[in-house]
Structure 1
Amino acid sequence: MDEETLNLSVRKFLKKVGITAQREIETSVREAIESGRLTGDETLNARVTLTVDGVDLSHEIDGELALK
């Protein structure tokens, strides 16, 4: 295994995940506010499940998203 190759691959993947997740969350929150499902001052619970095939990795990450 080449540690540098793995490190670069992981960083590239996480960058893609971060950018995509931020865009999807912001879009969903805006739509929910516009439709009246949210008022815009909530704190939302969030959860991500990370899985990696081949190494039996399944890890959940919980957090909160404050809107105000």
Structure 2
Amino acid sequence: MDDSFNMSMRKFLKQVGVTSQQAIEEAMRGQDTAGKTFRARAVITVEGLDMEHVVEGRIEGAE
């Protein structure tokens, strides 16, 4: 793959990571999350391609 593809991919993934973290932190702010574990699921699709990528994991609540 070429450099422009790699740069656009990295930019997109950075945006996904940063904005997702901000959204999760905002949702948890003010909530009693201590000792709780939350199941998380992210789905990425790309228009024009027949692909769907699913990432599942757990997020530990803040102390």
Higher relative contact order (CA 8 A, sep 6+): 2
**How many matched pairs?**
62
Gaps (5+ residues) in structure 1?
none
Identical-residue share of aligned pairs (%): 39
Which has the larger Rg? 1
Task: Looking at secondary structure, tell me which structure has more helix per residue.
Answer: 1
* Cα RMSD for the two superposed structures: 1.4
Gaps (5+ residues) in structure 2?
none
Aligned position for 2:6: 7
Give the superposition deviation at 1:50.
0.6
- 1:49 maps to 2:29: no
Give the superposition deviation at 1:30.
1.2
Q: Runs of 4 or more off by more than 2 Å in structure 1? A: none
TM-score norm. by structure 1 comes to 0.81
